[in-house]
Amino acid sequence: MIRSLLTISLLAAALSPLAQAASPARAYVPNEGDGTISVVDLSQRPATARVLTAAPLGKKIQSITVDATGSRLFVVDADASVVLVVDALTGAVLKTIPAGRSPEAASLSPDGKTLVVCAEESNQALFFDAATLAERFRVDMQGRNPEHCVYSPDGKLLLASNEESHDLDLIDIASQRSIARIAVNGAARGIGFLPDGKTAYVANEGSNAVDVIDIAARKVRQSIPTALRAAGIAVAPGGRRVYVSNGGAGSVTVIDPATHLVVATIAVGQRPWNMAFNADGSRLYVANGRSDSVSVIDTALNQVVDTIAVGKRPWGVAIR
């Protein structure tokens, strides 16, 4: 009997990772207007969204990040100045973490061990242990009003986009300080790195363009015109293409990073904001803040192949 139970236990342990890998990928969409999270099973055709929690989670939920296990969501509530730790299956709030004043965007380190949150009114980046949820340290910005905080692919640096001062803070993780302030050409918003970490792209809402940042030189190498109110950045897996959501134009611009030429412009919903790819990069999911929808772009065809109704004023998309 003991041998049988041991065999069953070992078999279950061996099958567990396979079961996790076989579970369908899901897209999580924070809806700023009604405080809910929409969940989309990406294996469904056509895709439909369901609400993860019936009751609102907060008055101004924005950024959402899925932890490395796929079991917890880190959801920023800017109005309450907290990060909500939410069970990804049930929608239950597991913990509430103070996160400075008026946090907006959050992201995980490449190894999944650290959560960083940009707090606009505190003018800081706050770093938390993703497992214990304890705050590890804070970094003061040289610029003003940090909105997005994004790690370099090797996890050694962090770029923060400063909306008010029109610049970026370059933070060295080891020394826990801002080591450079890089001027850009407008109100800095979304950020994306190429896989080698040498180049980053920053959407500038005021200049309707994307600035190409040389990380080593700590300066703008080039500015690429896109469309009205460039907002979000998504870099395709492998760095094949860079995608820019244009909030005022209702479009997504596609850039070839080898030439920095615009290769396509794709019409989506109203006020497209933040975006995310599925695992292989074949689909890009775009949150349309004023259409209450997510546009699904086929990246081979450069066209919208599905539109998914979600909650009010979706802020972005996270996929796991």
Domain containing residue 228: CATH number: 2.130.10.10
* Residues 228 and 237: beta-carbon distance below 8 Å: no
pLDDT value of residue 46? 86
In a domain? residue 87: yes
* Residues 163 and 145: beta-carbon distance below 8 Å: yes
pLDDT value of residue 23? 63
What Å distances lie between residue 47 and 42, 43, 90, 279, 299, CA to CA?
A: 7, 8, 20, 17, 17
In a domain? residue 220: yes
Structure tokens at 196: 């080698």
Cis omega before residue 46 (within 30°)?
yes
Task: Please report which helix (H) or strand (E) contains residue 290, including its range.
Answer: none
Under DSSP, is residue 28 helix (H, G, I), strand (E, B) or coil?
strand
In a domain? residue 305: no
In a domain? residue 159: yes
What Å distances lie between residue 103 and 99, 118, 136, CA to CA?
A: 6, 5, 17
Q: How far apart are CA 76 and CA 63, in angstroms?
A: 5
In a domain? residue 250: no
pLDDT value of residue 1? 40
- pLDDT truncated to tens, each residue of the chain (320 aa)? 433 333 333 333 343 343 344 467 999 999 999 999 999 999 988 889 999 987 899 999 999 999 999 999 999 999 999 999 999 999 999 999 999 999 999 999 999 999 999 999 999 999 999 999 999 999 999 999 999 999 999 999 999 999 999 999 999 999 999 999 999 999 999 999 999 999 999 999 999 999 999 999 999 999 999 999 999 999 999 999 999 999 999 999 999 999 999 999 999 999 999 999 999 999 999 999 999 999 999 999 999 999 999 999 999 999 99
pLDDT value of residue 53? 83
In a domain? residue 15: no
**What is this structure's pTM?**
0.92
In a domain? residue 45: yes
Domain count, the chain: 1
Q: How far apart are CA 251 and CA 230, in angstroms?
A: 9
pLDDT value of residue 8? 35
Residue 201: which domain range?
A: 26-233
In a domain? residue 311: no
